[in-house]
Amino acid sequence: MRSVLWVRLGELGLVGGQCGVSFPSDLEIAQAAVLLSPEEIGQQIGLGAEHLEPYGRYVAKIDLDALGDVSQRKKGRYIVVTAITPTPLGEGKTTTSVGLAQAMRHVGKVGLLALRQPSMGPTFGIKGGAAGGGYSQVVPMEILNLHLTGDFHAVTAAHNLLAAMVDNHLHHGNALGLALKKITWRRVLDVNDRSLRNTVIGMGTDQDGVVRQSGFDITAASEVMAILALCTSAQDLRARLGRIVVGYTEDDVAVTAEQIGAAGAMAVILREAIKPNLMQTLENTPAIIHAGPFGNIATGNSSVIADQVAIHLCDYLITEAGFGADMGAERFFNIKCRVSGMVPDAAVLVATVRALKAHSGRYRVVAGRPLPQEMLQENPDDVRAGAANLIKQIENVKIHGVSPVVAINAFPGDFASEHHVIAEIAQSVGARVAVCRHFGEGGAGAVDLAREVIAACEEPTSFEFLYPDEATLDEKISAVATKIYGAARVEYTSLAREQLKMYEANGFGHLPVCIAKTHLSISGDPTLKGAPTGHTLTVREVRASVGAGFIYPICGDMRTMPGLGSQPAALSIDIGEDGKVVGLF
């Protein structure tokens, strides 16, 4: 039945779950799934019930003692799933990750999935859910998309406790000499709310705090979230929280959360959130969901702790990095792998016909609107015209010494001739290729991809970072800009120059960089499609996430607090008469 419906959708040029035809929605598919208990899921991978703390019927926390108990077991292969530069609609990395993990069982291997937790901001905004799609989903998808076990709320609370203690310190005399205009610690909320981007706090009487300008970021952009994703133990979490810089004195000396006295209480708030969450896919493949750093601003990768546990529980561990290979994968290689000490065996690069057609520059794709009708017509030349982006993203993987496998995420309206062009181009630059139909067929639709990934993992690798620790911050930014983005040069505003100088003076120059830029172009300009070269990357501001362990330059008009569109997904989400969630997609 699935394949028949898939063909029907192909005739319409539509995707299941978005078109109102007979193919069931993602939510309908998820709610019809037959699920196993966490204990049964744990048994599949040798994770004993003594390490599981049930949260409801189908989710469990994994205690941190599990890492010690499994650390002597053989390690599986480590796979990162990334993509070409996406359209605003996304190209299906999560769905591909789930499909690949499910496919491993079809070829006689034990696959395990490690993903970020979705933020409720985008869930109620334009993106909708982020549990995968069709027959390649993590379930229960309502629980995953709607605050899971409360980890995001713990991050919000810990972050805002520090903000409250900073303002309390100011109110009671400011003994540390924080300069009001140099306080960098804002507040966070897991909601898209543009009205909170810039605020004035402390209004009222003298008992209502010190008046100053501040603002809110989304919780996924919080440094606390990045710390949760990058810490390696409860002790490391506590130490990193203490290193958070909340602001500077008039003499540009950093003031930390440890000095404010908040780090210990923050660690207590996060004592449960540090434990990864065990879930499952529609085919009962184990999935570990943990942390959710923003893909544009932070690392865009799930947690180090989850990977360190999971790598000993499977033959193939599949994890996903946010947005394109110039974004999440670059950070995976140069930040996450630096912390974890884990080396990837292969990288899956998701590509779609629609994205490559968009990179031809001949079409405009807008989130929330149907694709242009001309874009749905058979046109291999359009695909070839946008192929420069695919070639560059393959290069961005290979420059780190990792074997790439291109996963052509097949949509119903695609044509075989268009897939052939993608395969031909990918193979010409040394990448393996597989066409995948996991959305409509589940793991069976990603068997070819699984076989190519297994073969890629047998190839010799020579993983290397893009830059050494001892390089200056300017040199690190330039390395990413020129080698990954194809820029000719980097320019800094006077503010950014001053900030870099201040960070170097405070001893932060050894940290890696996490460049915050648009995800819609390899460059810093969202209008530049394909693989632009010779452009200038302009850094307007530089922030320091010292506790997380990276410096993040901000390029272009990047927002750390998204807004809601004219038709946010929240308008369609409700509770049905039977008490079940409806309208979540």
Return the amino acid letter for 155: V
User: Where are the alpha helices (H) located in 127-253, listed in sequence order?
Assistant: 141-145, 151-171, 223-230, 234-243
Judgement on whether residues 188 and 200 belong to the same structural domain of the protein: yes
Among residues 236, 269, 302, the one where a domain terminates is 269
- Asked if the peptide bond before residue 140 counts as cis, ω within 30 degrees of 0, the response is yes
Tens of pLDDT along 277-286? 999 999 999 9
CATH assignment of the domain containing 528? 3.10.410.10
Judgement on whether residues 242 and 298 belong to the same structural domain of the protein: no
Produce one character per residue of 420-441: b if its CB has 16 or more CB atoms within 10 Å, e if not: ebbbebbeeeebbbbbbbbbbb
Judgement on whether residues 143 and 287 belong to the same structural domain of the protein: yes
Tell me what pLDDT residue 126 has: 75
Tell me the DSSP string of 371-408: PPGGGGS--HHHHHHTHHHHHHHHHHHHTTT--EEEEE
Q: Bridge partners of 432? A: 405
Among residues 223, 253, 269, the one where a domain terminates is 269
Residue 584 located in a structural domain: no
- Reading the chain (585 residues) residue by residue, the pLDDT tens digits are 233 333 333 333 344 333 444 689 899 999 999 999 999 999 999 999 999 999 999 999 999 999 999 989 999 999 999 999 998 888 999 999 999 999 999 999 999 999 999 999 888 887 667 889 999 999 999 999 999 999 999 999 999 999 999 999 999 999 999 999 999 999 999 999 999 999 999 999 999 999 999 999 999 999 999 999 999 999 999 999 999 999 999 999 999 999 999 999 999 999 999 999 999 999 999 999 999 998 888 999 999 999 999 999 999 999 999 999 999 999 999 999 999 999 999 999 999 999 999 999 888 888 777 888 988 999 999 999 999 999 999 999 999 999 999 999 999 889 999 999 999 999 999 999 999 999 999 999 999 999 999 999 999 889 999 999 999 999 999 999 999 999 999 999 999 999 999 999 999 999 999 999 999 999 999 999 999 999 999 999 999 999 999 999 999 888 889 999 888 889 988 998 888 888 887
Judgement on whether residues 8 and 145 belong to the same structural domain of the protein: yes
CB of 382 within 8 A of CB of 421?
Answer: no
> How many domains does the chain fold into?
3
3-class DSSP state for residue 237? helix
Judgement on whether residues 214 and 129 belong to the same structural domain of the protein: no
Residue 562 located in a structural domain: no
Domain that holds residue 88: 2-150+273-457
Judgement on whether residues 132 and 160 belong to the same structural domain of the protein: no
Angle between helix 93-106 and helix 447-457 axes, rounded to 10 deg: 80
Judgement on whether residues 348 and 440 belong to the same structural domain of the protein: yes
Residue 576 located in a structural domain: no
This prediction has a pTM of 0.94
Tell me what pLDDT residue 366 has: 82
Tell me what pLDDT residue 4 has: 33
Residue 465 located in a structural domain: no
Considering only CA atoms, give the Rg of the chain. 23
Judgement on whether residues 241 and 314 belong to the same structural domain of the protein: no
Among residues 269, 296, 328, the one where a domain terminates is 269
Judgement on whether residues 351 and 446 belong to the same structural domain of the protein: yes
Residue 534 located in a structural domain: yes
Q: Which of 460, 524, 456 is nearest to 486 (CA)?
A: 524
Judgement on whether residues 412 and 277 belong to the same structural domain of the protein: yes
CB of 118 within 8 A of CB of 458?
Answer: no
For tokens 């709607």, name the residue.
146
CATH assignment of the domain containing 430? 3.40.50.300
Residue 51 located in a structural domain: yes
CB of 185 within 8 A of CB of 213?
Answer: no
Which pair of tokens denotes residue 6? 């898939």
CATH assignment of the domain containing 168? 3.30.1510.10
Judgement on whether residues 155 and 141 belong to the same structural domain of the protein: no
Tens of pLDDT along 96-147? 999 999 999 999 999 999 999 999 988 888 766 788 999 999 999 999 999 9
Tell me what pLDDT residue 22 has: 65
Judgement on whether residues 105 and 242 belong to the same structural domain of the protein: no
Residue 225 located in a structural domain: yes
Return the amino acid letter for 192: N
Q: Which of 567, 560, 519 is nearest to 90 (CA)?
A: 519
Residue 102 located in a structural domain: yes
